[in-house]
Structure 1
Amino acid sequence: MEGKRLYVGNLTYSVNEGQLRDLFTQYGEVASVKVIEQKGFAFVEMGTSEEAQAAMDALNQTVFEGRTLRIDEARPMQPRSDFGSGGGYGGNRRRY
């Protein structure tokens, strides 16, 4: 495992950053926690890649707050597509 940033999915919407920090601190230093509100997932950055791997190995597929966690190494964010060359409403209309 190369990265220290983990994707944590299948969270209840009520989970907060403090709860996740407490959960992941058992496996090492937690550098940051970012809960994506109303989406059911978060990103947790651990101090080292070894700590991230230990947390992922221990917590993936375990039940937390009534939901089975899905934990993976976070992938870099991909740039968003503009959905075609025109972009926006009516962008692909012929112009005379």
Structure 2
Amino acid sequence: MRLYVGGLPYQTTEDDLNELFAPKGQVKSVSVIIDRDTGRSKGFGFVEMDNDEDARRAIDELNGTSLGNRTITVNEARERPAGGNRGGYQSRDRRGGGGGGYRDNNYRGGSRY
């Protein structure tokens, strides 16, 4: 089972997470999510455990506990939507968009000048 771990102190490493979860059961993999631009942790990560029972125990025992000076959230990870949508506004007709900026609601097309 794959677990989401949020509220991590920014200096948390994958080794730190492994040490935190290992006493709860066999850890298959650990990843701390890093911001591409800054190279710094985004404050969350994922832990995959071999056994669902151990994963549920880890959720029960670690969710709401402190790591560093922060309270962490541990729950079952949800799968990303198909298509790799990374969030943001999705229009009803699925063409994306939702930009920003000024919009003149009275403008009907054609040349404005």
Q: Which bracket does the TM-score occupy, shorter chain normalised?
A: 0.7 to 0.9
Letter in 2 for 1:25: A
What are the equivalent positions in structure 2 for 1:50-69 lying under 5 Å apart?
50-69=53-72
From 19, 28, 31, the counterpart of 1:31: 28
Q: CA deviation at 1:66?
A: 1.1
Q: TM-score, normalised by structure 1?
A: 0.80
Q: CA deviation at 1:30?
A: 0.3
Contiguous gaps of at least 5 residues in structure 1: none
RMSD across aligned C-alpha pairs, in angstroms? Answer: 2.1
Letter in 1 for 2:10: Y
Q: What is aligned with 2:15?
A: 18
Q: TM-score, normalised by structure 2?
A: 0.69
Q: What is aligned with 1:9?
A: 6
**Which structure would you say has the larger RCO, counting Cα contacts within 8 Å and 6 or more residues apart?**
1
The percentage of aligned residue pairs carrying the same residue is 44
Alpha-carbon spacing, 1:86–1:24, altered in 2? closer, same or farther (3 Å): closer
- Write the distance in 2 (CA, Å) between the matches of 1:58 and 1:42: 17
From 70, 79, 82, the counterpart of 2:73: 70
